[in-house]
Amino acid sequence: MPAFPSKPQPKSSGASSDRRGSRRFWSLALACLLGLGANSGNAQDNSPEDDELRTRVEELERTNRDLIRALRDQHGLDLDDQEDDESTEGGLQYYEIADKADDKKKDDSGKGTEKKEKKESKPEDEWYEVGSDLSMSASWNNGLELATKNKDFRVHVGGRTQFDSSWFAVPENVNDDPTLRNPIRDGVDFRRARLRVDGTMWEQIEWAAEFDFVNSAGATSAFPGVTNANSLVAPTDLWWTFTKLPVVGNMRVGNQKEPIGFEHLTSSRFLNFMERSFNQDAFYGGFVNGFSPGIQFFDTAFEERTTWALGVFKPSNNLFGYSVDNGTYSITGRLTWLPWYVDDGRGLLHLGASARQVGMENSTYRWRTRGPERAGLSALWPLYADTGIIEGDNMQQYNFEMASVLGPWTFAAEYLINPIHNAAFYNKPTVGTAIYQGGYVEALYFLTGEFREYRRAGGSFERVIPHENAFFTNSGDGTTGGLGAWQIGFRYNYLDLNDKGLNGGILHDYTAGLNWFLNPNMKVQFNYSITDRQSIIAKHDGVIQGFGMRLAHDF
């Protein structure tokens, strides 16, 4: 951890003590003069000079009394218990009044601060009327946020952009494979360009409206494949959440992620590698960006050691959150557990399982995935594995997940199995139950000592906060800078879409990654992958090498 300088101690003010010492000096001098005058009067007979001196002393005494009254009135001091006669003996001297005035100012200032602190530090259990104070203040919380004092109304304005560049080394026999749909080429693209507004209203209702501006799938079904190269706007998170409900905790309605898969539920802002594993594309929703319209109930338990979620959704094969198929629904649930959690997440073990019962839209479905690096609009991405259209009655997906943080080390692994009942190629005889499967295991290490943040309320990884931001600039002493956070990682990624002749290919991928977090809102990612691709046409088997770079920004 970087060493921070200790807070400078406030310096004592010598002005007040010097002022008081000066007052006392002149008071003592005045007393000496008065004493000398009195002694002279006793030792000698009265003379004109004595009368003149006595007159001057009396004038000084009257002036002194006037000064005392003026100071008292100016500072509002309570001096009624003091003598206020022709003599100052036994009363307050002017310097004592000044000292009391200083003390009163300090007391009043302290009382004001104490009153202000007392007003601001409202007890958590103190009642207040929701919406009674609608004035908002702005702050930066890794994004622009406007909120009322009680947080019963809040608005966050944000977004994300991810700019990718990719290069490939592909054998000719692999690139000639017609099952790729499109050849593998070098290129650039904006992987995501999203704008988001989310917030809270009336304390209990949370909402989000997020739209992605770089989609290239048509509004019709994604089957058997769309090659439209136009970029379209589509919703991602578009929902309302009713919180603090009895028994169920929270209810979310709208376009949202179904509760299945650890990396699926981790935001694309916080991914360890440029792309999620093959499971995301093949099983969780490559045709819908991973979002489905539906209703979900979720909450935490046992001091956020456990999370649970259960929802009913309407599966679709388009990006726009609609479906007109009769009787097709999915029921999805997830349960996670933190058996070990220490040091605010610097050490943890996460275990979880999720399941999904799915009705197949029009009794058909398609399993396919793209590569670990991608270039161009999504409709033009090559398909590393693809089953084509499969018919079936229904299917289930069972997912098992593990994640762990050990200081700068991060580990994660998932495995999914997907049986399809009465499966068959389109308009072909059934082969019974076909089973597809996939999974990954990954390990990462922070070279600069950070640890992977974990969100207990959602059971997923969170934003990385570097110990210091990355910067390089001129200063008065020359150049200065910061490193940011650096992380290295490795992932093995596996997908098997071959079973009972309903084949889509098998993939084994090995990806090495380097992540440079410039600050909490920006990072640069470098990925190098080697993918062993077993095509459904044997002569097109081969190894694909890819190198990708991403500049990502979110707020």
Q: Which of 296, 289, 302 is nearest to 336 (CA)?
A: 302
The mean-pLDDT minimum among 3-12, 223-232, 483-492 falls in 3-12
pLDDT band at 285 (very low <50, low <70, confident <90, very high): confident
The mean-pLDDT minimum among 20-29, 213-222, 469-478, 503-512 falls in 20-29
260, burial (CB in 10 Å: exposed 0-12, middle 13-18, buried 19+):
buried
pLDDT band at 15 (very low <50, low <70, confident <90, very high): very low
**Between residues 119 and 297, the one the model is more confident about:** 297
pLDDT band at 34 (very low <50, low <70, confident <90, very high): very low
Contacts of 276 (CB under 8 A, 6+ apart): 263, 264
- So what CATH class is 150-554? mainly beta
76, burial (CB in 10 Å: exposed 0-12, middle 13-18, buried 19+):
exposed
Domain ranges of the chain: 24-42+50-113, 150-554
Whole-model pTM above 0.85? Answer: no
* 259 bridge partner residues: none
Distance in angstroms (rounded) separating the CA atoms of residues 241 and 27: 74
Distance in angstroms (rounded) separating the CA atoms of residues 496 and 507: 7
Q: Is residue 189 predicted with pLDDT exceeding 70?
A: yes
- Tell me: the pLDDT tens digits for 56-85? 888 888 887 877 777 667 655 554 444 444
Q: Is residue 36 predicted with pLDDT exceeding 70?
A: no
Give how far Cα 109 sits from Cα of 103, 105, 485, Å: 10, 6, 45
What pLDDT does 287 receive? 84
What pLDDT does 207 receive? 98
Contacts of 78 (CB under 8 A, 6+ apart): none
Helix-helix angle 94-120:14-43, to 10 degrees:
160
Contacts of 381 (CB under 8 A, 6+ apart): 182, 370, 371, 374, 375
Q: Give the DSSP H or E segment for 69.
A: helix 48-75
Q: Is residue 117 predicted with pLDDT exceeding 50?
A: no
CB count in 10 Å sphere of residue 278: 28
Q: What mean pLDDT value characterizes the chain?
A: 84
What pLDDT does 124 receive? 57
